[in-house]
Amino acid sequence: MHATHTTSAELLGVAGKGASIVICPATEANLGDGVFDLPGYAAAKGLWSIGSDSHVTRSWPEELRLLEYSQRLTLQQRNIAARILGHESSAAALFEAALAGGHPATGQALGGIAPGQRADFVTLDLQSPALLGVPADHVLDALVFSSPGAAFDEVFVAGERVVAHGFATGPGQDAARKSELAENFARAMRSLWGVAR
């Protein structure tokens, strides 16, 4: 987890064992923990993924953006992920590496949309204002680096659509259920914050 205070020898050891490090850039930034040595770990062919350890954010595009920007600020260079991971796009380099390092930890066949894989994926609303006019081959770049308002339209789990147009589908997912879930969540958050209604 994090691996912000590791030595080069420790990173080589983790990479050599085929283990995957979970990098949590938003948590690391929020706590002032430090910056992961992405270039050093990439040179060792290490596997990594991203997470949201303290739930400062639960947005994977934001985590990838923070990972890249922390590298740029530390190294005072641009397009770190693209350069060290051998890709034209930093967003694509980060996304693909995070998937490659994350899916083995699930014990599921989540290696992409291919025969034998589970088909867990999301679709974007390309008509959302944040993505209007963005060429198809730059949508991932826009999503990670310039369009935090881009909306996910559908979510599929094992090939089954579980979210459509931003709302859960299936039995028991009517407006009353959504309202009940929202109130339960708000109640839990107020309790955690120690706030009376």
* Identified catalytic residue from 2, 103, 120, 141: 2
Beta strands 160-164; 167-168: pairing state: antiparallel
Asked about 2 being catalytic, the answer comes back as: yes
Q: How many CB atoms lie within 10 A of CB 176?
A: 9
* Identified catalytic residue from 5, 33, 37, 53: 53
Q: How many CB atoms lie within 10 A of CB 122?
A: 11
Residue 25: predicted pLDDT: 93
pLDDT in tens, 125-181: 998 888 999 999 999 999 999 987 888 899 999 999 999 987 788 776 777 777 888
pLDDT in tens, 84-103: 999 999 999 999 999 999 98
Q: Which domains does the chain have, with CATH numbers?
A: 1-107 (3.20.20.140)
pLDDT in tens, 110-120: 878 889 999 99
Asked about 53 being catalytic, the answer comes back as: yes
